[in-house]
Structure 1
Amino acid sequence: MKSSTKKITLFALTWPIFIEISLHMLMGNADTLMLSQYSDDSVAAVGISNQILALIIVMFGFVATGTSILVAQYLGAGKQKSAAEIAVVSIAANLLFSLILSILLFIFDDRILLLMDLPPELLPEATIYLQVVGGLSFIQAVIMTLGAVLRSYSFTKDAMYVTLGMNIVNVLGNYIVIFGAFGFPVLGVEGVAYSTAISRFLGLIVLFILLIKRLDGGLPFLSLFKLPLAHLKNLLKIGIPSAGEQLSYNASQLVITAFIASLGTEAITTRVYTLNIMMFIFLFAISIGQGSQILIGHMVGAGKIEEAYKRGIKSLKIAIYISFGMAVLFSIFSETLLGIFTANEDILFLGSVLIYLTIILEPGRSFNLVMINSLRAAGDVKFPVYIGILSMWGVAVLFAYLLGIVFGLGLIGIWIAFILDEWLRGILMLRRWRSRIWIQKKFTQV
C-alpha cells in the first residue's frame, strides 16, 4: 500500500494529531462552556459522568492501542498484508467488546453514579447524560479504532478533519438545545448528550468511508473469520497491559474524584473548569507522544533500533520544553481563562492556584506521556503497568486522601499528590528507556 512507503517525520505526524486532540478537548470544553451559561450544577453533573466515561473509553482503547503499535511495526517491517489483517481484527473485536460495555453502562448507570458519592441535586442530570452518551459509547470505541488505523498508515490529517466536523456538529447542536435556537425546546444536559451522540455517529460514518478510500488494497473484512488467531493474540498481548496502565490511572482518578465530591459541588466545579484549561497545556505532550509512538513503531519494525532510541529522547526534550513554557503562559492568564467559565470568586482564586501548580506538574507528565508511548511502540508494555499501578495508588490516591482530606488542604493537597505521582513514574520510565531492555520486545518477530 502506498502509505507504508511514504517518508514520515515527527512534525508531519504530530501537528494533525495535535489539532485533532485539541478539537476533542474543545468538544468537551464546548459542552462545559455552553452549559456554564445554563447552570453550574449541570457542569458538575456532566463532569462526574465524563469521569466515568473516561474510564470506559480507556477500556475501549486497549484494542486501539494494540492496533496502532502492531500496524506501525508491520508496516515498518514491510508486512502490508499482516497490517491490513490486524486492522480488520481490531475493528471487529472492539465493536463486540464495546457493545457489551455500552449495554452494561446503560443498565447500571444510576448505581454507578451513587458509588461516586454524588450530591443528590446532581443525580438526575448526571444519570440522563450517562444513559445517552454511555449507552452509545460503542460508537466512540469504533471511532478510536478507525482513527488508530489511519494514523498508523500516516493519514493523520483524515482523523483531524473528521474531528473538526464532529466539533462543528456538536457545537451547533449544543447551541440549539441549550439556548432554544430556532424555536427548539431548551433541553439542557439531555440535549447536550444527544448532540454529542449524533456528532460521533456522523464522524463514525465518515471515518469508515475514508478508511476504505485511503487503503488501496482495501481491508479483508470478508475473510474476517479466516484470519489467524495470532493477530488477536498479539493485539491483546500489547493492548491489555497498555490499557491496564490507563485503566489504573482513570480508576485512581475516579477514586480521587470521589474525594473531591465529598468536598462539595463547588470543589467538583473548580476541578472541572481547571482541568478544561489544563488540557490545553498537556495536549502538546500527548500529541508528541502519539506521533513518536507511530515513528518508533515503524523504526523498531524496520530494525532501526538506534534511531528509535534517539527519537524517544529527542521527543521527550521537546515535550518538556513546550509543556513548561505553556504552563507558565497559562498561569499568567489563569484568572482571565477561568473567568470564561465562571464569575464565582472562590472558584477563580482556587482554580488559579491549581493552574500555577501545573508549572511543576506538567514537565513530570511529559515524561510519562512520551516515554510510555515510546516503550509501548517498542513492545515493552508490562513495565509501565506495574510501575503505574504502584505509583497511582501508592502515591496519587494515598497522598490525595492524606493531603486533601485528612490534613484539610482540599484541591491543593490533591494537586500536590498528582505532582508526586507524575514525577516518580516519569523518572522511572526514562530509566527504563535508557536501559534499552525494550530492544528484545518488538512484536513483528512473533
Structure 2
Amino acid sequence: MNHFHYRDGRLFVEDKALADIAAEVGTPFYCYASATLARHYDVFAAAIADNGLDAAICFAVKANASLAVIRTLAQRGCGADVVSEGELRLALRAGVPAERIVFSGVGKTGRELSFALVSGIRQINVESLPELESLNALAVRMGRRAPVAVRVNPDVDAHTHAKISTGAAEHKFGIAWDSALAVCRHADELPGIDFRGLAVHIGSQLTELAPFAQAFAKVRDLTLALREAGVPVSHLDLGGGLGVPYAPGEEPPSPAAYAAMVRETLGGLGCALMFEPGRMLVGNAGVLVAKVIYVKETGTKTFVIVDAAMNDLIRPSMYSAHHEVIPVAEPAPDAEIAPVDVVGPICETGDTFGRAMLLPPLAAGDLVAFGTAGAYGAVMSSSYNGRPLVPEVLVKGSQSCVTRRRPDYEDMLALETLPNWL
C-alpha cells in the first residue's frame, strides 16, 4: 500500500500535490510519504506480535539513508541495521538508541568496530574468523566485551537477482556452513567476545517464503547443535529480504505469512529474534519525480527524455529493475496508450528507465513519477556527469519539508582542490 493517489486530476502524496512540490523545489526530486512509512512498520510489527514472537525490528539503513526517514521509523520504536560507521552515525543522529542498533557487513574496519563498541550498540554481526579475532583483540585492549552474533552462510538459493543474493556458498557473506559450529564455539571462548547467537541474511527482494524457511531450518539445527555442545544461543538475527511489488499484479508474501513461517520454523527455541527489513518498509513509500525535456520520434521508436537519469535512480540500469512511470497529471480515460522508451540525458544507452512502456501521450514540461523508488533510490545516487544530487522531500499530511537540499555547482566545486603545481 502507498499514499500516492490522484485527486482532481493531479497526483498527490498524502494531502500534498506533487506538482506543487515540483514548483517549489524543481525536478528531479525524491518524495516520501510519512503515512506509508508508518503503516508499513505497523503492519510488520503487528504481524510479529500476532505470532507471539519476541523480536526487535531494525530498519536496514542501506535501503534509505535519509535522516528524516530513519527518524520517522525510530519514533515508532524501530531500531537500525547498519553496515558502516557513517550509517551508524546517521542512526544515532536520527535518534535511534544505541541498544537498538546492529552492525552488519563483511569489511568492518578497526575504526568502525571501535566506534561501535564505544557507542554501546546492541550487536555486531561477525562474518569471518579474521574479523572475530580482530574484534576480540580490540575489545580486550579497550577493556570491553563485544556483543556478537556469528553470521552464517546457509548455502541457500534465495531465488532473487544474482547481485542481491547473499546466502549461497560462493558469496562473500557469512561463515561457511561447515565451519559455523567450530567458529561459534571458538567465539564463545574468547575473553573479549560476548557470544549471543547467530545471524543469517540470504538476500533482498525475495518473493517466496521457501528460501527463508530452508535457511531458518538450518539455523534451528545449528542452534540445537550448539546447545548440545554447551554453547548458549540466546539471540537469532534473521535479517531482512522480504520483497515488495514493483508492478501491478506482483504479490510477494505478506508480513503475516512471513511471521507465521518464522513461528513454525523457529518457534519454541526461546530465542530473542531480530528482523532487519529495509525495502519492505520504504520501497513503496517513495517516488522519484521528473520532468519531460523532449519527446523524440525516430523511424522505429518514441523516446520520452526526462531530466532524471541513471545517476539519480540506478536500479533499472544495474538490475534491469522495473519502476512504474506515473503521469503526475491524470490521463483522460480515453487517452491513447502507446509504447515509448523512457530515458535520461546521460550519454549511455544504459541510461534507460524502461523500454516499450505503455503510456498516454506526454509532452515537454509534463511531470512523471517513478513508483516504488523509496528503497535503493536516493541512497545509491551519485553526481556522475557532473549532475547534482537531487533533493529529498518528506511529506506528512499537507506539510512538506526538503530533508536533503540540492547542492549548487559551487557546493560541488568546493569539494575539489587543485595541486599547487597546476
| TM-score bin, normalised by smaller chain | under 0.3
The answer to which structure has the higher helix fraction is 1
- In the superposition, the TM-score normalised over structure 1's length comes to 0.26
Largest Rg, 1 or 2? 2
The answer to which structure has the higher strand fraction is 2
Relative CO higher for 1 or 2, CA cutoff 8 Å, sep ≥ 6?
Answer: 1
- In the superposition, the TM-score normalised over structure 2's length comes to 0.27
